Amino acid sequence: MIKDRLCTKRALVVLDDVSEFEQLNALCGNRNGIGPGSIIIITTRDARLLDILGVDYIYEAEELNACESLELFNWHAFREASPTEGFLSLSEDVVYYCGGLPLALEVLGSYLFKRTKHEWHSVLSKLKKIPNDQIHDKLKISFDGLRDHMEKDIFLDVSCFFIGKDRAYVTEILNGCGLHADIGLTVLIERSLIKVENNNKLRMHSLLRDMGREIVRESSPEEPEKRSRLWCHEDVVDVLTDHNGTKAIEGLVMKLQMTSCVCFDTSAFEKMKRLRLLQLEHVQLNGDYECFPKHLRWLSWQGFPLKYTPENFYQKNLVAMDFKHIDRGTEDPKSQSFQVLEKHPGLFKLTEPRKAHYEGLSKFV
């Protein structure tokens, strides 16, 4: 009935939030089925659908700039174009958090309408730890629309560990994890969940990053040791200090200051049987490295405290390793990159960067 009416009329047709090719094919697969001079506008989260259909033009909606963001936020938070006196700085903080995303600006603006300064401060403080539920639920629709667990795992890995990293480097690591990242990252880019900068670095909108991390946190809100990925400093310190890591943990980031005197024991990692991604900065470990995880695919250790890898430090499954040694004995410590050069049973000599031979290891930084 719709096709019968459209074929004789000049029409403007808007297909909003299309998620399946079958929807497009049924409505506009045959362009001859619509009157001459007609225009079809399609909105979708999946750019691949538009490529398959062979549309004439693709426009990617851009984030609002700072001025546009502030004005949109003001209309929702104050019901006028300018903020109430004394609220400009707070408004700018909220706008910065939203990162030019209209949905977030509207939701948070409406939420903060007629609230006190004290309540504004409380909301901003809370947002640093837990995203707004309305924004989270809307953004999570894109995550839920991913086809399989591998695409979802790639998204969560990037949101927790690989923002700002080289695409080829990340692809190699995640392929080593069995996630088929060549196609997986491409799908995430088509779904606008990840962007690639001109320098080939991966980028993700801060609210999408927070959405991914919240998905991980929600899996075990009160017991971080039962989450699949750990990046929050306080959570990691608690897990390593209490030695209560579990096999649920697949990735972990621990960053300390170069002057930190905090030291952990290698046995804190013993129960992390499925740990595959580990990033350490200026972390000192004591103990037997026999306890260290044996299934790591990526090990990044900036500020590695030793000149030689310890005995029992055999990592046959590594795909990429990035060590940077810090000589703490000097007054002005300088970093030097080291890589494995000579392989001996249980001992690997670290030396200046050059092509190395290391079982399973194919990438150095």
Domain boundaries, the chain: 2-53, 66-128, 148-208, 223-364
- Token output for 166: 């080289």
- Token output for 172: 């190699």
Lowest mean pLDDT of 44-53, 266-275, 291-300, name the range: 44-53
Instruction: Tell me which range, 191-200, 311-320, 322-331, is most confidently predicted by mean pLDDT.
Output: 191-200
**pLDDT, averaged across the chain:** 86
pLDDT number for residue 193: 95
Which residues are CB-neighbours of 80 under 8 A, at least 6 positions away? 74
Does the domain formed by 148-208 have CATH 3.40.1350? no
pLDDT number for residue 339: 41
CA dihedral 56, 61, 67, 69 (to 10 degrees): 150
Average pLDDT value for residue range 115-133: 95
Q: How far apart are CA 38 and CA 43, in angstroms?
A: 17
Helix (H, G, I), strand (E, B) or coil at 284: strand
241 versus 345: the higher-pLDDT residue is 241
pLDDT number for residue 50: 87
CA dihedral 252, 258, 262, 265 (to 10 degrees): 50
Instruction: Check whether 157 has a pLDDT greater than 90.
Output: yes
Average pLDDT value for residue range 100-129: 95
Look at residues 218, 187, 192 and name the one whose alpha carbon lies nearest to residue 204: 192
In Å, how far are 30, 166, 169, 249, 341 from 185, measured between CA atoms?
31, 12, 12, 22, 32
Average pLDDT value for residue range 30-47: 81
> To the nearest whole percent, how much of the chain has pLDDT over 70?
85
Helix (H, G, I), strand (E, B) or coil at 252: strand
Confidence of residue 350 (pLDDT cuts 50, 70, 90): very low
Confidence of residue 29 (pLDDT cuts 50, 70, 90): low
Instruction: Check whether 342 has a pLDDT greater than 50.
Output: no
Confidence of residue 365 (pLDDT cuts 50, 70, 90): very low
pLDDT number for residue 117: 96
100 φ/ψ sector (left φ>0, alpha ψ -120 to 50, else beta): left
Look at residues 103, 36, 40, 93 and name the one whose alpha carbon lies nearest to residue 70: 93
Q: How far apart are CA 330 and CA 1, in angstroms?
A: 81
33 versus 304: the higher-pLDDT residue is 304
Residue whose entry in the numeric block shows the structure tokens 């990033």:
279
320 versus 323: the higher-pLDDT residue is 320
305 neighbors 280 (Cβ within 8 angstroms)? no
Q: How many CB atoms lie within 10 A of CB 122?
A: 12
* Whether pTM exceeds 0.75: yes
312 neighbors 333 (Cβ within 8 angstroms)? no
Lowest mean pLDDT of 113-122, 141-150, 257-266, name the range: 257-266
Average pLDDT value for residue range 50-65: 88
Lowest mean pLDDT of 35-44, 254-263, 276-285, 303-312, name the range: 303-312
Instruction: Check whether 349 has a pLDDT greater than 60.
Output: no
pLDDT number for residue 355: 32
218 neighbors 224 (Cβ within 8 angstroms)? no
Maximum pairwise Cα distance, the chain: 83
Burial 227-237 (b: 16+ CB within 10 A, else e): bbbbbbeebbe
Instruction: Check whether 346 has a pLDDT greater than 50.
Output: no
Question: First vs last Cα of the chain: how many Å apart?
Answer: 61
102 neighbors 64 (Cβ within 8 angstroms)? yes
224 versus 324: the higher-pLDDT residue is 224
pLDDT number for residue 1: 64
- Token output for 302: 């900036």
Instruction: Check whether 215 has a pLDDT greater than 50.
Output: yes
Instruction: Check whether 337 has a pLDDT greater than 60.
Output: no
| DSSP 8-state secondary structure symbol assigned to residue 160 | I
